[in-house]
Amino acid sequence: MMSSSNRKTASFGVPWEKAYGYVQAVRLNNTIYVSGQLSHTPRGELVAPAALGADGKPADFSTMEAQMKRTYENAEVLLAELGATMADVVEETLFVLDVPSAFAASSKVRPLVYKQAVPQVASNLIGVSALAFPEQLIEIAFRAEVEG
């Protein structure tokens, strides 16, 4: 974690942070911005990667729920490092390769993550044509607000 007066950062140390050139999360005063998270281990191995077809794209979306769960777990780690929890999240943006499967998975996963039947968070669900890794089905970015 780096800090300069009212700015702190958090990262996992995975290879793509250096390759792309970014940190996983930034806390500036009382706001935490979490970069798009995906389902990976602390060492950078993808969790529940989608099987790829002959075209190099996901052949199915059956691992969406497992990827979503791990993605939220990674966000929780970063938020904790910067003094927050999922209860402090005010906005999330889900970038997904398949909207119907993400919608189905989110109805199961999000209430557990936020510990509410209807999570009290602004949420955006956006279908995209590709993500950073071919086996990746989902990426989630967050904004959290914490008390001084």
* SS3 labels along the chain: CCEECCEEEECCCCHHHHHHCCCCEEEECCEEEEEEECCECCCCCECCCCCECCCCCECCCCCHHHHHHHHHHHHHHHHHHCCCCHHHEEEEEEEECCHHHHHHHHHHHHHHHHCCCCCCCEEEEEECCCCCCCCCCEEEEEEEECCC
In this predicted structure, the answer to whether residue 4 has a pLDDT above a threshold of 80 is no
In this predicted structure, the answer to whether residue 144 has a pLDDT above a threshold of 70 is yes
| pTM of the predicted model as reported, rounded to 2 decimal places | 0.94
The per-residue pLDDT of the chain, averaged, comes to: 95
In this predicted structure, the answer to whether residue 1 has a pLDDT above a threshold of 80 is no
Confidence tier at 2 by pLDDT (50, 70, 90): low
- pLDDT tens for 64-109 read 999 999 999 999 999 999 999 999 999 999 999 999 999 999 999 9
In this predicted structure, the answer to whether residue 3 has a pLDDT above a threshold of 80 is no
Structural domains in the chain, CATH included, are 3-145 (3.30.1330.40)
Average pLDDT of the residues in 13-17:
93
